[in-house]
Chains A and B, each alone.
Chain A
C-alpha cells in the first residue's frame, strides 16, 4: 500500500549556501611529514632544543669568519689568562694582573690585554720580581706566601706525627700574623689553616715606588672572551671550532650508519630465509662486542684524525640501524603495494628505493637523530683519552683533555668546553626524543 507522500512546504525551501559545505573536509589533508612536524612543533622542549642546535650550528659555521683570532693562533705571552681577573689598579688607565706563576700582565682599565711585562730583575732568593711599568718601578713580592706554604707543610708533618688535627699557631708565622688581633688563640685545626692559606692569604703583594698597591678591581678579559689556553690560544674560538668538529663527526657518522645500516638491514630483511639468518647472526655477534673497544682498535689501525674517527664510528655503530631497517622491511614487504610492484615487474633496487625506504623514513630518521649525540659523545670520549682529534685541531674532548692537566689552577679551561659538550648532547637527546614522539608511528597514541 503506497503511502501518500506528503511533502510539506518547508522541505521545498532552498537550503542556505553554507550548509552545502557542511560535509566537506575543509582542513587540507596532511601528509605523514606535515602531521609529524605539527606534533613536533607542539613539543616545547624539542623546539627549544632544535633552536639551540641551529644556533650552535650557525655559530660554528659563521663565527670563525669574522673572529679576530684563528683557532691555531698562539701567543705564548698571553697563555692561561682567565676570562675574569682580579687586577691591581696602577693608574687611571693601567691595571696589573699577577698570574699564578708570578708574572705580571699589563691591562688597560677597560680590560684589554696590553703585554706581558718582562721583569727588569728576578730575585729568586728574596722572592721578588722587579718591573718597570709606565716609568714606575713595580715590585712583585711573593715571599710571604711561599714562606707560608713551607710553614704549612711543616705543620702538616707535625700534625701527622702527633696524630692530632689541631696545630699550634706559634710555630707558623703566617698564622701568628693572621690571628694577631686574637692574642688568646693558640691552636687551630689543620683544615682551617689550609683554608686560610689557600683562600684568605694574599698570594702576592705589589708595590709601586715602595708604596703597596691595595686597590683591586675585577675586570673582564676584553681581548679574549673566554680566556686563553696553555699556549695562549683563544679559548672561545677553539670551542666554536670544536663545535664544528663535533657536529661534523656527529652528522657524518650518523649518515654513514644510515647508509651501511639501510643497505645491510634492507638486504637481510628483503631476501629473508637463510641469508637473513646468517646476516643477523653476524649482527648479533658484532653487537655483543663492546663498541668503544672496536672504535679504539679501528682508530689504532687507521691512525688518529677527523676522517678516521668518523669512519670508525660509522663502521661500528650501524648495528642498531640494521636491526631497525630489517624489522621494517620484514613488515613492509608483506604489504600489497610491494606485491603490486613485484607483479608489475619492478626490480629489487627500484622496490627498495621507491617503495620500502620512503615508507620507513620515520623510524630511520628518529634513529639517525639518536645516533648523532652518541657519535658526539664517543668522539669526545676518544679525544679525551687521547685517541681522537689531535692538536692544533680542537674538539671538545681535546679541549677538556688539554685542560685536565691544569684543572686546579685554571678550572675555566675545563668548564667552558664541558658546558658546551654537555648542553649539546643534552639538547640533541631532547630533540631526538621529540622526533621519536612525533614521527615514530609505533608510539602514537
Chain B
C-alpha cells in the first residue's frame, strides 16, 4: 500500500515537473519579447527592463531560477498588471471559480448518480429514453450555446437571474448549472451502464433471493459497486470544474481564474500564463492523485501494482 502511494506521488511530481518545463520552454519559444512595443524604443530602457525581469540571462539559468522560485511557491510577477504578483491575482480570482466548481461538482454527483440509477432501473422505458436523449444533447451541445441560451431565457425573457456578474446568489445559478451540464450528462451515462452491469450480477440475484427489501439490494449491494467507475471520473472532473470553464466565466462575466487565464493570453502576459498553467496542472494532478489513492481504499479488489 505504502509503495503504491509513494509511486503515485512520484508519478504526480514527475507530471508537474514535466508540465512546468514544457510551459517554460513553450513560453520562451514565442517569437519576440513582451516589451517589444513602439512606446519603448530606447535600447537602454529595454536593457534595464530586461535586467529587472532577469531576461538578459541565458535560457538555462533562467529555467533554474524559474524552477527554484516555483518550488518556493513564488509564481513571479505579472508583466501586464504592473506591481501585482501572479500569486495575488490567482488568489483574487480563485475563490469564485472554486465556489462554482464545488457546487457544480456536488450537483453532478448527486443528480448524475440519481438519474443514472433511475435510467438503469427503467431500462428502455420512457424515462430512460428521455434521460439518454438529454445526456446526448448535454454532451454534444457546446457550453457557450447553453450559457447564452440560459441568459436569453432566464435573464432576458423571465428576468430571474442577473445578466452579468455574481453580485448575489442568483448570479451563481447560471454558471453552476451550465458548467455542470457536460459532466452531468457523462456521469448519467457512466452510472447507468455500470448499474446495468452490476444488476446482472449473481450476488444481486442472491440478495433478492434471500428476500432483502429492494432499497437494501440497491443501496447496499448494487450502488456500492456501481459507483466505482464514477469515482475515477471525479478527480479530473472536479479539477476541470474548479479551474473554471473559460467559456462559462466569459459569458457570465465572472472574474474567476478561467477569465484571468484568457485575459492573460490576450494581454500576452507570459508570467501569468505560466503561473496559471502550472497552478492548473498542480490542482489537476493533485485531484487525480487523491482520487487514485481513495479508489484503492474503496475497492479492495484493486491490487497496488
CA distance A290 to B245 in the complex (A): 12
Question: Using Cβ atoms and an 8 Å threshold, which residues of chain B touch A373?
Answer: 140
The contact of A425 among B142, B156, B159, B285, by CB within 8 Å, is B142
- Check: A52 CB closer than 8 A to any chain B CB: no
Which chain A residue lies CB-closest to B288?
A288
Q: Is the C-beta of B29 less than 8 angstroms from some C-beta in chain A? A: yes
B65 to chain A, nearest CB (A): 21
Give the B-binding residues of A (Cβ under 8 A): 191, 194, 285, 288-290, 292-293, 296-298, 300-301, 373, 377, 380-381, 384-387, 397, 400, 404, 407-408, 411, 414, 418, 421-422, 425-426, 429
CB distance from A182 to the nearest CB of B (A): 24
Chain B residues closer than 8 Å to A301, beta-carbon distance: 26-27, 29-30
Contacts A373-B140, A381-B247, A426-B137; is A194 near B159 (CB within 8 Å)? yes
B4 at the interface (CB under 8 A from A): no
Any chain A CB within 8 A of the CB of B145? yes
What is the bound-complex CA distance between A350 and B23, given in angstroms? 38
B144 touches A422 (CB 8 A): no
For the complex, give the distance between the alpha carbons of A380 and B148 in Å: 14
Assuming A285-B18, A381-B144, A425-B141, is B266 touching A386 (CB within 8 A)? yes
B15 at the interface (CB under 8 A from A): yes
Known: A288-B284, A289-B281, A292-B246. 12 other contacts (CB 8 A): A289-B284, A290-B240, A293-B280, A296-B265, A297-B23, A297-B277, A298-B26, A300-B273, A380-B142, A381-B143, A384-B250, A421-B145
Q: Which residue from B14, B142, B152 sits with its C-beta under 8 Å from A381?
A: B142
22 pairs, A vs B, C-beta closer than 8 Å: A285-B14, A289-B19, A289-B284, A292-B246, A293-B281, A300-B26, A300-B27, A301-B30, A381-B246, A384-B144, A385-B247, A387-B265, A387-B266, A397-B144, A400-B148, A404-B144, A404-B148, A414-B148, A418-B142, A418-B148, A426-B136, A426-B141
Residues of A within 8 A of B284 (CB): 288-290
CB pair B145–A418 under 8 Å, yes or no, is yes
Most chain A CB neighbours (cut-off 10 Å) among B142, B246, B268, B280: B142
What's the minimum C-beta distance from A419 to chain B, rounded to whole angstroms?
A: 9
Residues on the B chain within 8 Å of A289, using CB? 15, 19, 281, 284
B206 in contact (CB, < 8 A): no
C-alpha gap A378/B47 in the complex (Å):
40
In the complex the two chains form, what is the Cα distance from A245 to B300 in whole Å? Answer: 50
In angstroms, Cα B58 to Cα A332, docked, is 49
Q: How far is the CA of A426 from the CA of B141 in the complex (A)?
A: 7
Q: Which residues of A contact B243 (CB under 8 A)?
A: 290
Interface of A is mostly: helix
Cα distance A194–B155 in the bound complex, in angstroms: 13
- From A194, A300, A425, B265 is in contact (CB under 8 Å) with A300
Asked if residues B246 and A425 are in contact (CB atoms below 8 Å), the reply is no
State the B residues within 8 Å of A (CB): 14-15, 18-19, 23, 26-27, 29-30, 136-137, 139-145, 148-149, 151-152, 156, 159, 163, 239-240, 243, 246-247, 250-251, 261-262, 265-266, 268, 273, 277, 280-281, 284-285, 288
In the bound complex, how far is the Cα of B15 from the Cα of A348, in angstroms?
33
Q: What is the minimal beta-carbon distance from B101 to any residue of chain A, in angstroms? A: 14
Smallest beta-carbon distance B94→chain A, Å: 16
Q: Contact between B265 and A400 (Cβ–Cβ < 8 Å)?
A: no
Q: Which residues of A contact B266 (CB under 8 A)?
A: 386-387
Number of A-B contacts (CB under 8 A): 102
Kindly list chain B residues whose C-beta atoms are within 8 Å of the C-beta of A429.
136, 139-140
CA distance A373 to B142 in the complex (A): 11
Name the distance in Å between B299's Cβ and chain A's nearest Cβ: 21
CB nearest neighbor in A for B239: A290
Once bound together, how far apart are the Cα atoms of A400 and B148, in whole Å?
9
> Which of A191, A384, A386, A387 has its CB near the most chain B CB atoms (within 10 A)?
A384
Task: Give A373 to B277 CA distance when docked, in angstroms.
Answer: 26
Q: Is the CB of A422 within 8 A of B288?
A: no
- B27: which A residues are within 8 A, CB to CB? 297, 300-301
Selected contact of A422 from candidates B15, B29, B145, B250, CB within 8 Å: B145
Q: How far is the CB of B64 from chain A (nearest CB, A)?
A: 21
Q: Which residues of B contact A407 (CB under 8 A)?
A: 148, 151-152
Does the CB pair B152–A300 fall under 8 Å? no
Shortest Cβ-Cβ A-B pairs, 3 listed: A418-B145, A426-B140, A422-B141
A292 to B, closest residue via Cβ: B246
Chain A residue with Cβ nearest B240: A290
For B142, give its contact among A296, A297, A421 (CB under 8 Å): A421
Knowing A285-B14, A385-B246, A387-B265, the reply to whether A425 touches B149 (Cβ < 8 A) is: no
Please name the residue on chain A nearest to B156 by beta carbon: A408
Are B247 and A384 in contact, with the CB atoms below 8 A? yes
- Decide: A400 and B144 in contact? CB cutoff 8 A: yes
Task: Report Cα–Cα, A421/B239, bound state, in Å.
Answer: 27
Residue of A with least CB distance to B268? A300
A-side contacts of B273, CB under 8 Å? 297, 300
Q: Which residues of A contact B285 (CB under 8 A)?
A: 288
CB neighbours (8 Å) of B23 from chain A are: 297
Identify which of A191, A380, A386 contacts B159 (C-beta below 8 A). A191
CA distance A127 to B280 in the complex (A): 53
Bound CA–CA A292/B281 (angstroms): 12
Closest-CB distance, B83 to chain A (whole angstroms): 24
User: In the complex, what residues of B have CB within 8 A of residue A386's CB?
Assistant: 262, 266
B142 pairs with A422, CB closer than 8 A:
yes
Interface hub of B29, B239, B288 (most chain A Cβ within 10 A): B29
Question: CA A381 – CA B147 in complex, angstroms?
Answer: 13
- Say whether B280 contacts A285, CB under 8 Å: no
Docked pose: A386 CA to B266 CA in angstroms = 8
A296 and B277 CA atoms in complex are apart in Å by 10
A290 and B145 form a contact (CB under 8 A): no
* Of the residues A298, A377, A387, A421, contact of B262 by C-beta under 8 Å: A387
Chain B residues near A411: list those with CB within 8 A. Answer: 152, 156
A292 to B143, CA, bound (A): 14
On chain A, the residues within 8 Å of B151 by CB distance are 407
Q: Name the A residues within 8 Å of B14 (CB-CB).
A: 285
- Tell whether, in the assembled complex, residue B251 and residue A404 are in contact, meaning their CB atoms are under 8 Å apart: yes
